[in-house]
Amino acid sequence: MEDTLKTFKEYLKRRKQFDQAQTMLAWDMQTAAPKDSVESKIESIGFFSTESFRMSTAKEYGALLEELSKPEQFQKLDEGMAITVERERKKYKRFQRVPEAFYTEFVTEKARSEHAWEEAKEKDDFSIYEPHLDKIISMTKEFVHYIEPDQEVYEVLLDMYEEGMDSHTIDTIFTELKEGLKPLIEKITSKPQPDLSLLDGRYDIQAQKKVQDVLLDYIGFNFDRGTTAESVHPFTITLCHGDVRVTNSYDEEAPISSMFSAIHEGGHAIFEQNVNEKYKDTAVEEIELMGLHESQSRFYENMLGRNKNFWIPVYDKVAEILPQLKNVPLDVFMQAINVVKPSLIRVDADEVTYCMHIILRYEMEKAIFIDHVPTKELPKLWNKKMEELLGVVPQSDAEGIMQDMHWSDGSFGYFPSYLLGSVYDGMLLEQVEEELGSVDQILADGRIKEITHWLNEKIHQYGSLYTSKEVIERVCHKEISARPLLSYFTKKYD
């Protein structure tokens, strides 16, 4: 047993080094690398991921997993290692069924497609992206047929990003939201929009970067265990134990956008940074529960960040860095960050209409994987759904179907997790209030880190030990429901 476990741990460590090299290259490609190096970087990414894949499917690895899974061995493993063996065994069985040549092609095509998406979006030309998207969709279907030949493709995809979640449950939650939100959005948008011209102007990018650091520090991001950079689309990435990085994108005329991206990505990073040390080098550290992950980023972004009291202790400091804000009273700033208005771009959407953007993507994914709608018809379908759900129609595909990067790298099934995250947040907010008292008061007092600490204790420290459903039931003692989120919206905006 001792020997098998030792060999297993060493094996994992070696594989992790390939993964780390691959992540480092991906990070570099998206933040710093010059355009002309892309093709050779993609090749290197392909190399490292193939090596990692080989290790995950090697016969000797399967034998180690088999050995450690024997009841007399398995029961001696600590919690973190037991989870690791279970998950690795599941992956091993799945990957065994995927031909290596297909896998390498899939990984490189993802990188190529991501790159084509960038170009197509920039030139607003869907025809550049269409063949890649089409290939990614068919390869995703093929991939799922290999790993789970007896299951529905879309159910497997949903489960990949939010273990234990299925389309039946999501249908129920999203339908309740859709029905509750439609009249609320109509009611809010029938009122006159506030005058926000005080915020007009150009905001220095370097200053916006400084504001990002202030906000990250304020909510509890640990700069000894992470860093920041700029990219086309904000994201968070864990490079290795003790190194969680966030990116942001900047627009001189939209400082609020970079502030909220900073808070959002900061929420993801705080989760990753605070997994209990005892789970180091186990699967518990790898948090692939995207609904739970989004619940953390969106809790900071919306439940806390869009609350006026969040800004009371920090607004003057932000205005020191962005002097234009000295002429903008906090109340006007509050109106600006809480405008509810149907719009085209998901990442710029307010917290209420955002839900509709996700429901649209969920319905699109069902159209792709259940109804098999041809790729060339997707832009039109997108626009039709925009009109139905939000009453606005994109004039171009760049602000329509091509706005997000997710599908370009094959992340189908990911989008629903954003909204599931918000659904969990509605429940978490009620629970925080019950246990810690008024969130308004805590924020106004500048005690936001008490909330971060609560999240560390209740959620972050366990990493991916429990599924999202288990976490919510353990923390909130209730079953998942959309009602708390709907009542949060109604209370705030009605």
Pick 212 or 297: Cβ nearer Zn ion: 297
- Asked if residue 297 binds Zn ion (CB under 5 A), the reply is yes
Query: CB of 297: closest distance to Zn ion in angstroms?
Result: 4
Our CB check for Zn ion shows the closer of 180 and 410 to be 410
Residue least distant from Zn ion (Cβ): 297
Would strands 236-240 and 226-230 be described as parallel, antiparallel, or unpaired? unpaired
State how beta strands 243-248 and 236-240 pair: antiparallel
Q: x-or-dash pattern for Zn ion, window 220-249, by CB under 5 A? A: ------------------------------
Nearer to Zn ion, 208 or 297 (CB): 297
Identify the CA nearest to 236 among candidates 262, 213, 215. Answer: 262
Task: Give least dist CB 120 to Zn ion, A.
Answer: 23
Q: Which is nearer to Zn ion, 237 or 480 (CB)?
A: 237
CB of 222 to Zn ion, least distance (A): 18
Backbone angles phi and psi of 178, in degrees to 5: -55, -45
Interatomic CA distance for residues 79 and 161, integer angstroms = 22
Cα separations (Å) of 263 from 267, 397, 444? 6, 28, 17
**C-alpha span between 155 and 142 (Å, rounded):** 14
Q: Measured from the CB atom, is 148 or 351 closer to Zn ion? A: 351
Minimum distance, C-beta of residue 150 to Zn ion, in the bound complex (Å): 32
Between 260 and 333, name the residue whose CB sits nearer to Zn ion. 260
Task: Name the residue type at position 102.
Answer: F
CB 79 to Zn ion: min, Å: 27
- Rounded distance between C-alpha atoms, residue 356 and residue 334, angstroms: 22
| Class of residue 427 by CB neighbours under 10 A (exposed 0-12, middle 13-18, buried 19+) | buried
Which residues lie across from 237 on neighbouring strands?
245
Per CB under 5 A, contacts with Zn ion among 1-20 are none
Q: What are phi and psi of 397, to 5 degrees?
A: -70, -25
3-state secondary structure of 238: strand
Least distance CB 290 / Zn ion (angstroms):
8
C-beta separation of 383 from 400 below 8 A? yes
Residue 49 to residue 46: CA distance in whole angstroms: 5
Does 302 bind Zn ion (CB under 5 A)? Our answer is no
Q: Does 212 bind Zn ion (CB under 5 A)?
A: no
Nearest to 358 by CA among 409, 291, 307, 264: 291
Q: Provide the 10 A C-beta neighbour count for residue 467.
A: 16
Least Å from the CB of residue 409 to Zn ion: 15
Residues with a catalytic annotation lie at 265
Measured CA to CA, the distance from residue 60 to residue 7 in angstroms comes to 10
Candidates 73-81, 149-157, 274-282, 293-301 — which segment interacts with Zn ion by CB under 5 A?
A: 293-301
Closest to Zn ion by CB, 91 or 406: 406
> In whole angstroms, what is the distance from residue 309 CA to residue 332 CA?
14
Q: What is the DSSP letter of 299?
A: I
* 3-class DSSP string for 430-488: HHHHHHHCCHHHHHHCCCHHHHHHHHHHHCHHHCCCCCHHHHHHHHHCCCCCCHHHHHH
C-beta of 160: minimal distance to Zn ion in Å?
16
The residue (of 84 and 408) whose beta carbon lies closer to Zn ion is 408
Element (H, E) at 236: strand 236-240
CA distance 427 to 29: 38
Using the minimum distance from each CB to Zn ion, give the nearer residue, 9 or 406: 406
How many residues touch Zn ion under the rule CB under 5 A: the total is 1
273 binds Zn ion (CB under 5 A): no
| In the complex, minimum distance from the CB of residue 148 to Zn ion, in angstroms, rounded to a whole number | 26
- Of 110-118, 160-168, 278-286, 290-298, which part binds Zn ion (CB under 5 A)? 290-298
Q: Which stretch binds Zn ion (CB under 5 A): 192-200, 275-283, 294-302, 354-362?
A: 294-302
The binding site for Zn ion (CB under 5 A) comprises: 297
